[in-house]
Amino acid sequence: MWGGAIRIGKYSLEIYILHLFFIMVFPIIGHIMLRIDNCATVVTFQIVYSATLAVVSIVLSIVVADFIKTNKILKRLFFGQ
């Protein structure tokens, strides 16, 4: 788990820039969340749901960042490297 945190940390700028394009939004889930009236249930549900989508978004960001970095000009423009 913490090894994953280190890996994410090394890609922090890339994830910050690219994750916006990969976050999936399911409004129906939002409606379900708002109907839940129990604190433990809604907090657990939100953590599991948002963490799952965050993992997907982060993995896609890292894959695309690695692809962008194959071009020197794009690497400089996107990530200032």
The answer to whether residues 62 and 21 touch, using CB atoms and an 8 Å cutoff, is no
**Interaction of residue 68 with another protein, rule CB under 8 A:** no
Site string for another protein, 5-44 (x = CB under 8 A): xxxxxxxxx-xxx-xxx-x-xxx-xx--xxxxxxx--xx-
**Interaction of residue 54 with another protein, rule CB under 8 A:** yes
Q: Cα-Cα-Cα-Cα dihedral of 45, 48, 50, 56, to 10°?
A: -150
Give the residue from 10, 25, 27, 24 showing the smallest Cα distance to 62: 10
> Which residues of this protein are in contact with another protein, per CB under 8 A?
2, 4-13, 15-17, 19-21, 23, 25-27, 29-30, 33-39, 42-43, 46-47, 49-51, 53-54, 57-58, 76-81
